[in-house]
């Protein structure tokens, strides 16, 4: 049932990570805290912050499998204690954080950017212990019974603080500091704690290994350095020459190492690639450019038909009928699952353009089939079911292959009317198809009279915004003549949240205020006249506004092949759900008061809040992050449309707004059908001689 119902699970590009508990914990540029399996790279858990996370946010493993995140949001930070199951054990807000450090699984040190240092014990009790001046970043070093805090300020100066002891400065690059059991390795020198102070010793044994390195990490009895695209692994006791090395495909942006069991695991982020190596061998890789989808296009596939034109020609002869009969019998007797869901236009090619210019091809079942990288494409479009990609040139895209072409993409000219200079254009929209694809030209009322829809194919709508008055003005006009039909105003302080669609004779829009828990949904319906059975050339309108009990991030309207099926309004919520709203709910004709004599054609009574029906949650149990675009594409079955959503995740599912009225159910009983047919044939064979005998008897009786 749910074969065409899937999502990709992306996390974005990590900027902070730590390996612990046989897992990889990350904070990413998509404001996501994620937990990856170290063995497969699968996402075990992820959480997306509603507030953007600064790239100096912190990760730190604590005790009993707990991992602590310090998510910086400007001047504030949210400290969260995560259990190994992805649950929040404790959280609190504090000033912006420069570092979090685990002190031998007994307590945590939180270093704030203002220099205050706070200790948190295992009972989550806090106490201030020091002030070390302004801090941008920090590290911690352990010496027998003492702890040394190393800090960097905004001027790149490096200092050290022996907690409850002396302090001083270090002359070295903070990013090159290596913390070992022998001391603090800094450039070619090593600093050891003697008499409460750090003492400098020149020409450390680590100097040759660190020459020219960009990253250095200690993992158990080994330390690793990266030189260009190469990773060298040294023994901490004898670091004169590497014990092993391996090469990366490109220079790492983020580099972490840890020992899991007997295996040395290296976690690398390079560009949009997230990789994990185990003992120098690539264990898994993730392409996180798919977390930044810029645009999508859906292309129909040329399917192999079950019945071709040649079959019809052949069936003009007896051999054709015999062959067709044999084919149908084989289908009835075949107990294997049918592949009919790969026909009827269900299987399409979904082209995905990412912000780094790559193009990926998926089928309707979620299989990643091909990719085109390194061309820096800025736009994709389709003309007559053929996909094209644009950089400095225009390329035809066919099954992952490129061929240069002279086809040009010309955006539809909507010619919105000019308002005074106090208004700026937000967006404009027009209908996607002509009147031949409109199933019904009128709405039949309960008294069987009709309201004729205004179906001028040149009708368009433009949204303008007045920054002084904080008002959106919707103008309905004719894009061919530029005649303005009517205009409507809607107040909002967040015009960037506007979603606008026009379909048949109705216009739907949504807006969401900043930090609001709800959205406003408005619907405008255009009729030739609001008087039944009357027609005119200038439209009249009805308007209703509703409240959606959740912020909306994207919207579309279902479209089927002939638009006979009911319409659904599909909305993506910022909470991660994708929900369907029946058009009967989002209706401008819903009356404020209803008569006692109701019929099936009577609209539902107006209610200001549109309920979200859990049964119409298309994403089911899934959480689809960051959806910014939704599209609905017809299939060959009138009942069915393919809905695709894109953003941080890619999501696709089949939707049937009027149920499956043109196809058999999946649990159709072929055995019962065959038994019924056999019984009918047997009955005919048994009854036929009896009928013949009765006719003969009737004939003799008539003659006598």
- CATH of residue 395's domain is 2.40.10
| pLDDT, tens digit (0-9, with 9 covering 90-100), for 365-406 | 999 999 999 999 999 999 989 999 999 999 999 999 999 998
| pLDDT, tens digit (0-9, with 9 covering 90-100), for 42-98 | 999 999 998 999 999 999 999 999 999 999 999 999 999 999 989 999 999 999 999
Residue 644 lies in a domain: yes
Q: What domain range is 601 assigned to?
A: 423-655
Name the E strands within 104-237.
107-112, 116-121, 126-131, 137-143, 146-152, 158-162, 167-170, 178-180, 183-186, 189-194, 197-201, 215-219, 222-227, 230-235
Residues 401 and 364 in one domain: yes
pLDDT(1) > 50 = no
pLDDT(307) > 70 = no
At residue 420, the 3 state secondary structure works out as coil
Residue 492 lies in a domain: yes
Count of residues in the chain: 704
Residue 461 pLDDT: 96
Contact, 184 vs 172, CB < 8 A?
no
| pLDDT, tens digit (0-9, with 9 covering 90-100), for 316-365 | 567 777 777 777 777 666 655 555 555 688 889 999 999 999 999 999 99
Residue 367 lies in a domain: yes
pLDDT(703) > 70 = no
Query: At 684, which helix (H) or strand (E)?
Result: helix 670-703
Residues 397 and 433 in one domain: no
| pLDDT, tens digit (0-9, with 9 covering 90-100), for 498-509 | 999 999 999 999
Residue 409 pLDDT: 80
Query: By C-alpha distance, which of 268, 259, 251 is closest to 213?
Result: 251
Helix axes 670-703, 318-333, angle to 10 degrees: 130
Residue 595 pLDDT: 72
Residues 391 and 487 in one domain: no
State how far the Cα of 539 lies from the Cα of 506, in Å rounded to an integer: 12
pLDDT(535) > 50 = yes
Residues 511 and 604 in one domain: yes
Last residue of a domain, one of 612, 629, 655: 655
> Tokens at residue 287, please?
């392409």
Q: What is this structure's pTM? A: 0.87
Tabulate helix, strand, coil % of the chain (nearest 5). Answer: 10, 45, 45
Residue 21 lies in a domain: no
Give 159's contacts (C-beta < 8 A, 6+ positions apart): 132, 133, 150, 151, 152, 153, 167, 168, 169, 170
What's the distance, CA 241 to chain centroid? Answer: 46
pLDDT(19) > 90 = yes
Mean pLDDT, all residues of the chain: 89
Residues 490 and 458 in one domain: yes
Last residue of a domain, one of 655, 673, 699: 655
Residues 627 and 508 in one domain: yes
Residues 480 and 515 in one domain: yes
Residue 647 lies in a domain: yes
- Per the structure, how many domains does the chain have? 2
Last residue of a domain, one of 636, 655, 674: 655
In degrees rounded to 5, what are phi and psi of residue 682? -65, -40
Residues 635 and 530 in one domain: yes
Residues 521 and 574 in one domain: yes
Residues 443 and 393 in one domain: no
Residues 446 and 550 in one domain: yes
Residue 694 pLDDT: 86
Query: By C-alpha distance, which of 148, 138, 142, 204 is closest to 175?
Result: 138
State how far the Cα of 11 lies from the Cα of 201, in Å rounded to an integer: 44
Residue at token pair 């929900």: 579
Contact, 575 vs 550, CB < 8 A?
yes
Residue 476 lies in a domain: yes
């Amino acid at each position: 049932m749910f074969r065409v119902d899937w999502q990709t699970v992306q996390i974005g590009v990590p900027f902070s990570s730590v390996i612990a508990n046989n897992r990889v914990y990350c904070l990413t540029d998509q404001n996501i805290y994620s937990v990856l399996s170290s063995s497969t790279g699968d996402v075990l858990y992820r959480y997306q912050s509603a507030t953007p996370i600064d790239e100096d946010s912190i990760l730190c493993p604590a005790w009993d499998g707990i991992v602590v995140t310090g998510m910086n949001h400007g001047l504030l930070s949210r400290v969260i204690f995560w259990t190994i199951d992805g649950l929040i054990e404790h959280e609190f807000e504090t000033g912006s954080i420069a570092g979090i450090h685990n002190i031998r699984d007994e307590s945590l040190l939180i270093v704030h950017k203002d220099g205050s240092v706070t200790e948190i014990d295992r009972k989550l009790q806090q106490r201030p212990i020091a002030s070390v001046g302004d801090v941008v970043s920090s590290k911690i070093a352990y010496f027998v019974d003492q702890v040394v805090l190393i800090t960097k300020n905004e001027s790149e100066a490096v200092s050290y603080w022996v907690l409850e002891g002396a302090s001083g400065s270090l002359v070295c690059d903070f990013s090159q500091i290596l913390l070992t059991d022998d001391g603090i390795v800094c450039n070619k020198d090593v600093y050891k704690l003697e008499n409460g102070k750090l003492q400098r010793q020149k020409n450390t044994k680590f100097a040759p290994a660190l020459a020219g390195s960009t990253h250095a990490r200690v993992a158990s009895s080994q330390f690793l350095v990266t030189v260009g695209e190469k990773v060298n692994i040294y023994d901490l006791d004898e670091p004169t020459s590497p014990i092993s090395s391996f090469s990366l495909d490109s220079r790492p942006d983020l580099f972490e190492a840890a020992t899991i069991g007997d295996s040395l695991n290296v976690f690398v982020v390079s560009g949009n690639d997230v990789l994990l190596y185990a003992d120098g061998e690539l264990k898994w890789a993730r392409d996180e450019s798919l977390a930044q989808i810029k645009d999508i296009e859906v292309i129909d596939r040329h399917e192999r038909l079950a019945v071709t034109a040649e079959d019809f020609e052949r069936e003009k002869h007896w051999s054709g009928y015999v062959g067709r009969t044999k084919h149908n019998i084989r289908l009835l007797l075949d107990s294997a699952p049918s592949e009919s869901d790969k026909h009827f236009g269900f299987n399409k090619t979904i082209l995905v353009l990412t912000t780094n210019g790559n193009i990926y091809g998926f089928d309707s079942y979620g299989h990643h089939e091909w990719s085109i990288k390194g061309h820096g494409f800025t736009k994709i479009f389709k003309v007559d079911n053929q996909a094209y990609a644009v950089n400095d040139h225009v390329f035809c895209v066919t099954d992952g292959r490129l061929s240069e072409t002279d086809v040009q993409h010309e955006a539809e000219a909507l010619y919105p009317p000019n308002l005074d200079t106090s208004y700026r254009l937000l967006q404009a929209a027009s209908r996607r198809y002509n009147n031949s694809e409109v199933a019904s030209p009128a709405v039949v009322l309960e008294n069987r009279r009709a309201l004729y829809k205004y179906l001028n194919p040149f009708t368009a709508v433009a949204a303008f915004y007045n920054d002084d008055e904080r008002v959106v003005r919707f103008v309905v006009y004719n894009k061919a003549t530029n005649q303005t039909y009517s205009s409507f105003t809607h107040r909002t302080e967040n015009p960037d949240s506007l979603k606008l669609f026009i379909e048949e004779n109705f216009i739907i829009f949504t807006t969401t205020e900043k930090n609001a828990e709800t959205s406003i949904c408005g619907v405008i319906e255009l009729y030739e006249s609001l008087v039944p059975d009357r027609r005119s050339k200038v439209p009249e309108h009805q308007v209703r506004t509703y409240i959606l009990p959740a912020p909306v991030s994207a919207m579309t309207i279902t479209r089927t092949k002939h638009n006979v099926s009911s319409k659904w309004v599909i909305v993506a919520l910022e909470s991660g759900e994708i929900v369907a709203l029946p058009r009967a709910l989002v209706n401008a004709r819903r009356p404020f008061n209803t008569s006692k004599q109701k019929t099936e054609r009577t609209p539902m009574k107006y209610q200001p809040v549109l309920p979200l029906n859990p049964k119409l949650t298309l994403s089911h149990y899934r959480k689809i992050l960051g959806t910014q675009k939704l599209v609905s594409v017809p299939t060959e079955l009138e009942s069915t449309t393919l809905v695709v959503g894109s953003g941080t995740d890619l999501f696709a599912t089949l939707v049937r707004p009027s149920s499956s009225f043109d196809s058999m159910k999946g649990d159709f009983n072929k055995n019962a059908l065959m038994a019924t047919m056999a019984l009918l044939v047997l009955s005919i064979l048994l009854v036929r001689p009896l009928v013949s005998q009765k006719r003969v008897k009737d004939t003799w009786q008539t003659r006598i």
